[in-house]
Amino acid sequence: MYRSPLLLAVLLTLTSSFGCAESPSSPDPEGCLPDQAQWEDVVRPMIANHCGLCHGTDPDYGAPDALLDYDALVMGEPGTRLADRMSARIGEGTMPPAGQPLLPHPVFDTVIQWASCGEDHPDYAEGLIASAPVFQAPSTPTEDLPHFDVTADGFPVAKDAIDLYQCFTIEAPLDEERFIRRVEVIQDKSQVLHHAILLQDKDKEQALGTEMCYGMPSGSNYIYAWAPGTGPIEFPDGGIRLAPGDRLLLQIHYNNGAGIEGLEDTSGIRVFHGPVEGKEYGMFAPGPLSFKLPAGEETTIEGRCTVPQDFDVLTGIPHMHEIGESFQQTIERLDGTLEEVIALSGWSFEMQLFYDTPVQLKAGDTLVTRCTYQNPYDYEVTSGEGTSDEMCFNFLYVSPPPPDRYCDIPPTKVLEYTPGECAPDIVPDELPVVEGKYIESAPPALLGGELADGDYALVHYEVFILPPGIPIGELDYEKSFVEAMGMLRLEDGVLQFDYGTHVHAELIGSDITIEEAFVLTNQSDITLGPEAGQIALHQTCPELIDEPFLGTYDVAGDSFRLAFEVLQGPIALVAQATWARISD
């Protein structure tokens, strides 16, 4: 069960109390009479809880009207009634008054939908300023491609469905691997649609069929997110790989604030697919993974990601939750120059859009992601997947697909590293600290390429644990990690590499914890094997050895990966390091 981090709700600017002001335009269709039963069951308790201090049965603190009597709210002509004026003030952000707690997004939506009989949605873009244009896909498909739909398939949206997250999961109806080329929303009962998200669940963790859903299946990937105003996504020169048996999970956030009876919704997402050709894309989410926001304070947090390989960025969707104020992401290039990816102010949780940011990321670049929050509550808000938690990511469509979905490195160097005797003469202070991880699987195949001479920095590190795994227990993959920092030089067929590591490993259900720090240093003559990706290191430092180390490698732009199998006691491991060129 899960609540998606990509829900969409609003940050209100609270400036004045409810009362006389310029006549707001009515959000209601002519003749709309808001439902009385929905008022009594749902809306009145919300108003009493969030507005009752001033607008209770006996108005107080200068409030001109009570807002708890249904007959008084709907008396008069549509557009001038107290219910219409209340809804308009909530929609424009002038109620509650400045200094009062924000309205939770279910309350915000519900009151406006109730007053308009389900016909009106707030203008979530009000006050939002972005430094890049919205990513615009063609309104209709550019090619005649086959498609299939993932829909709610007649889901009954109950009259009391407020802030409901429902998931609908199918297996991809394919006979062979295909590229997802385009995705677009199918709107049926728009009166109750809050947002829709499509996820790819390769690990088949989400059960087929429909169920309420809170959180996100581990290992799943975003494909598309829609909210009122969002257009389709179309990949101009490739797509996202989809295999037979992959599960597609549609999450729809429903809010029947108007209390409409008898609704059955068939909204969903249409997926267009084509042959596996052109660029392959994946989702990459740089940003801080863990942070805390003190009560009652404005706080800016920062995450830093060392880019593990070259990427072409097509578009991205910045993401925070309800108390975000502004968002910024910049690139620190290896030569020290800065380049802005996107900056947003007047953040709207309800208006999260894909922006046109076609930048090129180079291995070793640093992506700096900053989010500013105003926490109005008397308690600390922490990072997490729930709507009441917070996040700070830019979900980027990149090609080629990234090795990891998230990317964040420690803000300061915590690894003590002194180069060994075979290290090249590269200044360690200029090297990043890389937080690697353990993975219980065979590593991906490495296919070789043309190695280029130059100096390289370690930018990515993974340790693959091969079957049968660890004989003394099960590794806690969430808590175990390895920090590393290092340098490498390739010159005239000679390879020098040197890196320091700090290993932290914990076993599930055990008090056993392994802490170890060491430096790996090596100078070798290299030869490439007869098969693509094979490499042999004939070690000459720290001492000459007769048998070479056999490994695999591949090249991607200005970076390459090296992988070697090692034995640590009875445990078979493959250590895979990615190196990015920092100078010729």
Position 142 in a domain: no
CB neighbours of residue 251 within 10 Å: 24
d(CA 106, CA 463): 44
Residues pairing with 445 in the sheet? none
pLDDT at res. 101: 63
471 in the Ramachandran plot: left (φ > 0), alpha (ψ -120 to 50) or beta?
A: alpha
Under 8 Å between Cβ of 161 and 254: yes
Q: Please tell me whether residues 115 and 203 are part of one structural domain.
A: no
DSSP lists the bridge partners of residue 395 as: 317
Domain end position, chosen among 348, 372, 407: 407
Specify the residue for token string 């929303």: 185
When divided into structural domains, the chain yields a total of: 4
In whole angstroms, how far apart are CA 330 and each of 185, 365, 368, 500? 31, 10, 5, 29
| Structural domain includes residue 138 | no
- What DSSP state is assigned to residue 30? T
Residues 159 and 221 in one domain: yes
Mean pLDDT, range 247-267, rounded to an integer? 89
Q: Are residues 358 and 321 in the same domain?
A: yes
How many CB atoms are located within 10 Å of the residue 292 CB? Answer: 12
* Whether 378 and 433 share a structural domain: no
- Domain check: are 118 and 163 in the same one? no
Same domain, 567 and 439: yes
User: Phi and psi at residue 112, in whole multiples of 5°?
Assistant: -70, -40
Nearest to 574 by CA among 416, 446, 476: 446
Same domain, 260 and 290: no
Residue 1 located in a structural domain: yes
Q: Report the pLDDT value the prediction gives residue 247, as an integer from 0 to 100.
A: 94
Residue 134 within a domain: no
Which tokens in the block code for residue 480? 């175990």
The number of CA neighbours under 13 Å toward the Cβ of 350 is 21
Among 345, 373, 407, the domain-final residue is 407
Q: Is the separation of the CB atoms in 367 and 432 below 8 Å?
A: no
Would you say residue 34 lies in a domain?
A: yes
> Which residue type does 406 have?
Y
Inter-residue contact 244 to 33 (CB < 8 Å): no
Is 89 found in the same domain as 11? yes
Shared-domain flag, residues 170 and 269: yes
pLDDT in tens, 439-464: 888 888 999 999 999 999 999 999 99
224, 198 contact by CB (below 8 A): yes
**Beta carbons of 564 and 462 less than 8 angstroms apart:** no
Q: Residue 286 belongs to what domain range?
A: 282-407
- The span from the CA of 5 to the CA of 316, in Å, is 15
CB 7 within 8 A of CB 196: no
Tell me the CATH number at 351: 2.60.120.230
Cis peptide bond prior to 542, omega within 30° of 0: yes
Amino acid found at 347: W
Give every CB contact of residue 479 below 8 A, 6+ residues apart in sequence: 504, 506
**Residues 221 and 260 reside in one and the same domain:** yes
Instruction: From 376, 407, 438, give the residue that closes a domain.
Output: 407
Under the banding of pLDDT at 50, 70 and 90, the label for residue 216 is low
* Domain contains 137: no
Domain membership of residue 419 (yes or no) is: no
The first and second tokens of residue 175, run together, are 């006979």
337 CB-near residues (< 8 Å, 6+ apart): none
Calculate the CA dihedral of residues 274, 279, 282, 287 and round it to 10 degrees: -150
- Is 316 found in the same domain as 219? no
Residue 219 — pLDDT band, cuts 50, 70, 90? low
Q: What band does 121 get if pLDDT is binned at 50, 70 and 90?
A: low
Give strand ranges (E) for 466-512: 481-491, 494-506
Q: Which residue has the higher pLDDT, 22 or 139?
A: 139
Whether this model's pTM surpasses 0.85? no
Residue from 258, 27, 34, 297 nearest 162 by CA? 258
Can you tell me the mean pLDDT for 400-419? 75
The average confidence (pLDDT) of the chain is: 83
Q: What is the pLDDT of residue 315?
A: 93
3-state DSSP assignment of residue 109:
helix
Question: Are 317 and 246 in the same domain?
Answer: no
Q: Tokens 């001038």 belong to which residue?
A: 80
Q: Which pLDDT tens digit goes with each residue over 338-356?
A: 999 999 998 877 677 889 9
Which amino acid does the sequence have at 419? P
What CATH number has the domain bearing residue 204? 2.60.120.310
Is residue 549 exposed (0-12), middle (13-18) or buried (19+ Cβ within 10 Å)? middle
Evaluate whether residue 417 is within a structural domain. Answer: no
Residues 181/143, Cβ–Cβ less than 8 Å:
yes
CB atoms within 10 A of CB 567: 9
Is residue 206 very low, low, confident or very high in pLDDT (cuts 50, 70, 90)?
confident
Collapsing DSSP states into helix, strand and coil, what is residue 466?
coil
